[in-house]
Chain A
Amino acid sequence: AQKVTQAQTEISVVEKEDVTLDCVYETRDTTYYLFWYKQPPSGELVFLIRRNSFDEQNEISGRYSWNFQKSTSSFNFTITASQVVDSAVYFCALSERNSGGYQKVTFGTGTKLQVIP
């Protein structure tokens, strides 16, 4: 069963528009972490944010903001006033403990964002 779902495969927006990338996850653990990564055309995944399951406070970092809602198992990512440099594939990931007691990170399939000038 897919544990991290990013239903939006591709999104195109015009520069300066706001855009929200959706992420829905599934876990039976009470302690888990959620992440967002950015993969620009150069290919290297860049860590953006980590959020633990006990902290539902929304977080804002510049033009980026994240909305974590346990009630809907969602961890959505909003880019305000998008810029061309935001064009990338964005991955949501879930970190939990597997049956062997080790960290297991499951990635979503990614959302490709294209910001058109």
Chain B
Amino acid sequence: GAGVSQSPSNKVTEKGKDVELRCDPISGHTALYWYRQSLGQGLEFLIYFQGNSAPDKSGLPSDRFSAERTGGSVSTLTIQRTQQEDSAVYLCASSLKGGGGVADTQYFGPGTRLTVL
């Protein structure tokens, strides 16, 4: 079946503008994760969804960052008033069960490369 998809693949924006990044998880996967990967760095956890609720938002770096998930499927990560330090690749992953499922394997999308000028 189809894997995790993300759009857009690339986004260039001006400082101060808002951006929306979209993630379509694997069908049937109840858990969804957002990560950020800065150039040459590891993965920084942002937020985790179980169904439509977000039990773990601990990784969101500031209140300019928010995310929602509707219908237990598609998720949107919104960054308001973008700053240059927001430039990174934003990765989305999904897994079958998530919460409590320590054994779950996360499957990743191709990422959205965000550049803030």
* A residues lining the B interface (CB < 8 Å): 31-33, 35, 37, 42-47, 50, 52, 91, 95-98, 100-110
Contacts and interface: CB of A to CB of B under 8 A. Distances in A.
Nearest to B111: A43
Q: For the complex, would chain A's binding face be called helix, strand, loop or mixed by DSSP majority?
A: strand
Interface of B: 31, 33, 35, 41-43, 45, 48, 50, 55-56, 89, 91, 93, 95, 98-111, 113
Given A102-B50, A102-B56, A95 B110 contact: no
7 contacts: A43-B89, A47-B106, A91-B43, A95-B102, A95-B104, A100-B56, A105-B106
A98 B56 CA distance: 10
Given A44-B109, A45-B91, A109-B41, A32 B100 contact: no
A107 B102 contact: no
Nearest to A97: B102
B100 A102 contact: yes
Given A31-B102, A102-B98, A45 B42 contact: no
A100 B55 CA distance: 8
B110 A105 contact: no
A109 B42 CA distance: 4
Contacts of A45: 91, 93, 108
Contacts of B35: 107
A97 B101 CA distance: 8
Given A52-B103, A102-B55, A102-B100, A107 B43 contact: yes
A9 B113 CA distance: 22
